Amino acid sequence: MENQTTYTEDNIRSLDWKEHIRMRPGMYIGKLGDGSSPDDGIYILLKEVLDNCIDEFVMGAGKIIEIIIKDSQVKVRDYGRGIPLGKVVDVVSKMNTGGKYDSRAFKKSVGLNGVGTKAVNALSSSFIVESNRENKTKSAAFEFGNLLEETNPSESSRRRGTKVTFVPDVGIFKNYKYRLEYVERMIKYYVYLNPGLTIDLNGEKFFSENGLKDLLTDQTSENDLLYPIIHLRGEDIEVALTHSKTQYSEEYHSFVNGQNTTQGGTHQTAFREGLVKTIREHFGKNYEASDIRKSIISAVSIKVMEPIFESQTKTKLGSTEMGAKMPSVRSYIVDFLNTQLDNFLHKNPSVTELIQKKIVQAEKERKELSGIRKLARERAKKANVHNKKLRDCRVHLPDLKKDRRLDSTLFITEGDSASGSITKSRDVNTQAVFSLRGKPLNSYGMSKKIVYENEEFNLLQAALRIEDSLEDLRYNNIVIATDADVDGMHIRLLLITFFLQFFPELIKEGHLYILQTPLFRVRDKKQTFYCYSQKERKDATQKLSGKPEITRFKGLGEISPDEFKYFIGDDIRLDPVMLDKNITIEELLEFYMGKNTQDRQKFIIDNLKVEVDLIEQENDTTP
């Protein structure tokens, strides 16, 4: 008789709010991560708390938000209206409770369904909320979502507003670390979209007077702008745009009700359509859309009544309407550009002339490259079919747009042994491997033509699907996985140069990483430790009895697939490649890849660090 699994009342289980969030955190905050990626869960927790503060500012209450991040603890204080004292516990611990359900209290808010702070509460080992309102104060303390204590309302002279203090649970966010660069970028977006708002992060104040114009100004070099930034404002919409002199691809920043929609949505699609339509009609020529948008750097922000997002993390807008009895998002944005951008072009003939020249030049380059591009695509397709360079995964970023609990990663490796180890130990669903043959070409100062002519670059571009824009990017994480020796470092530098030269937005948007792999394996008969630094090696040695076996890994190919799976799984360590806000891409490339050999030599000598125990390190390793 065939065995059958029993299914009775005993199999039915009801979870309370915090159990459900802790068991299925991805449903509420997307992926978890350790803080190396800007969309990791610890930043979503901060964002959920900040969104409530922003909503207070939007409603005219509180012009300052204070944030203190020290080690693992986060404090956020606003000076808004304060949570009604009788509901302080409920709004952070009862589902379907919150002011966002009443559109009279929150119009065009960021918050969607009152889940945010409850998720923060449930996913924190410590969570404290304090509300100051009408000369009274009340607070409540939680642990993993469980209420520990709450105070009765008492008289207070503190300024009104809400303070939230939380520590993300290390059991869920393993080895996490807040990177202030990512927090700063999040904060800057908030102030760009809310002129008049000041956000204080660890004593540093952020403020914007010119909105989206400041965003583009901060992210681009003035010398790289083809013309001064066009800045247009209307009711419930703001647009800023320009063209780059050197950047090849399109770059978009989009926002809804102050929320950075990193995956775009209906508003970004409408912006791209409206831009093309306006330019065509203004010049009376049916230019190719790709020629019009080539090298564009732009930002669009709209405000929508009760927006519909495609996930709790609110990274992609799904709304098609601006609100009840209002036009569609598409027609609103297209009409705005048709009127306001067209007016600007008529009033600024010098800018209009530069835009038309840029389009004509893009058209010329496209036609010159058309034959090369066609051949390059055929070569790329053939290479993929024969599986020579790319060991692909089953699921890609476009498939994950509605479910960011999963992530897609492409490892770029050098050499058969290293790529073989990663290929055998990877997760075939979400991890792909691209194998380089030797060192990549130094692409500094070269034109986009080289990307199609060089086999390695052509196939890498095809694997990523980033020829024209990031919209079809197939992997959220692009990870350079090379040996930690001189040759490996050189390969890293050449690959970073390639991305900076032709696809800088990949780095700007936080997609490029360096894989950390252990330098040592320390083990005895009972335990094994993988160590990423001298300190970790010493700590591991002290934990083991007797004289443990210590192995020094000198290359990725020396690590067996059975071991490699630990380093690219849940405990993967990634170093994000970030741009220094004080130096432009042009200056960066010129210094590190240009002909200023003497300057670089002096820089290396001045910054060279020799570990005192380097000899001891080598003596302690075994063959």
Shared-domain flag, residues 476 and 612: yes
Please check whether residue 345 lies inside any domain of the structure: yes
User: End of a domain among 340, 365, 390?
Assistant: 365
**178 three-class SS:** coil
| Beta bridge partner(s), residue 391 | 433
Q: Give the pLDDT confidence score for residue 280 in this predicted structure.
A: 96
Residue 175: CB atoms within 10 A of its CB come to: 11
Shared-domain flag, residues 373 and 399: yes
Report the amino acid identity of residue 434. F
- DSSP class of residue 147? E
Tell me the per-residue pLDDT of 166-185, one tens digit each, with 9 for 90 and over: 999 999 988 899 999 899 99
Shared-domain flag, residues 345 and 494: no
Alpha carbon distance 62, 72 (integer Å): 26
Please check whether residue 543 lies inside any domain of the structure: no
User: End of a domain among 206, 229, 246?
Assistant: 206
Location of structure tokens 């090379």: 482
- Residue 69 contacts residue 202 (beta carbons within 8 Å): yes
- Residue 475 contacts residue 408 (beta carbons within 8 Å): yes
Shared-domain flag, residues 221 and 186: no
Shared-domain flag, residues 469 and 605: yes
Q: Give the pLDDT confidence score for residue 609 in this predicted structure.
A: 53
Shared-domain flag, residues 353 and 436: no
The first and second tokens of residue 293, run together, are 């948008």
Please check whether residue 9 lies inside any domain of the structure: no
Domains of the chain: total:
3
Please check whether residue 90 lies inside any domain of the structure: yes
Please check whether residue 11 lies inside any domain of the structure: no
- Residue 168 contacts residue 31 (beta carbons within 8 Å): no
Backbone torsions φ then ψ of 117, nearest 5 degrees: -70, -25
Alpha carbon distance 570, 531 (integer Å): 16
Q: Give the pLDDT confidence score for residue 231 in this predicted structure.
A: 96
User: End of a domain among 334, 365, 396?
Assistant: 365
Alpha carbon distance 592, 66 (integer Å): 38
Q: Could you tell me which residues come within 8 angstroms of residue 623 by beta carbon, excluding any fewer than 6 positions away?
A: none
The angle that helices 266-283 and 329-336 make with each other, rounded to 10 degrees, is: 30
Shared-domain flag, residues 437 and 565: yes
Q: Where are the beta strands (DSSP E) in 355-458?
A: 390-391, 409-414, 431-436
Q: Give the pLDDT confidence score for residue 423 in this predicted structure.
A: 87
Report the amino acid identity of residue 92. V
The secondary structure element, H or E, covering residue 164 is strand 161-168
Please check whether residue 247 lies inside any domain of the structure: yes
pTM: 0.77
**253-268: b (≥16 Cβ within 10 Å) or e:** bbbbbbbbbbbbbbbb
Sites in the chain below the pLDDT cut of 70: 1-15, 17, 95-115, 306-326, 383-388, 398-406, 468, 580-592, 594-623
Q: How far is CA 409 from CA 143, 374, 488, in A?
A: 34, 27, 20
Domain residues for 36? 17-206
Shared-domain flag, residues 297 and 383: no
Q: Give the pLDDT confidence score for residue 603 in this predicted structure.
A: 66
Q: Give the pLDDT confidence score for residue 99 in this predicted structure.
A: 46
Q: Give the pLDDT confidence score for residue 437 in this predicted structure.
A: 82
Shared-domain flag, residues 495 and 597: yes
| Burial status of residue 565 (CB atoms within 10 A of its CB: 0-12, 13-18, 19 or more) | middle
Shared-domain flag, residues 472 and 607: yes
583 torsion bin: left (phi>0), alpha (psi -120 to 50), beta (else): beta
Please check whether residue 136 lies inside any domain of the structure: yes
Q: Give the pLDDT confidence score for residue 385 in this predicted structure.
A: 58
**353 three-class SS:** helix
Alpha carbon distance 489, 36 (integer Å): 20
Please check whether residue 279 lies inside any domain of the structure: yes
CATH number (domain holding residue 300): 3.30.230.10
Q: Give the pLDDT confidence score for residue 310 in this predicted structure.
A: 60
CATH number (domain holding residue 173): 3.30.565.10
Q: Give the pLDDT confidence score for residue 183 in this predicted structure.
A: 94
Tell me the per-residue pLDDT of 97-115, one tens digit each, with 9 for 90 and over: 444 434 443 445 555 445 6
Shared-domain flag, residues 461 and 513: yes
Q: Give the pLDDT confidence score for residue 359 in this predicted structure.
A: 95
Shared-domain flag, residues 448 and 322: no
Tell me the per-residue pLDDT of 479-512, one tens digit each, with 9 for 90 and over: 999 887 778 888 888 899 899 888 888 888 889 9
Q: Where are the beta strands (DSSP E) in 259-354?
A: 259-260, 296-302
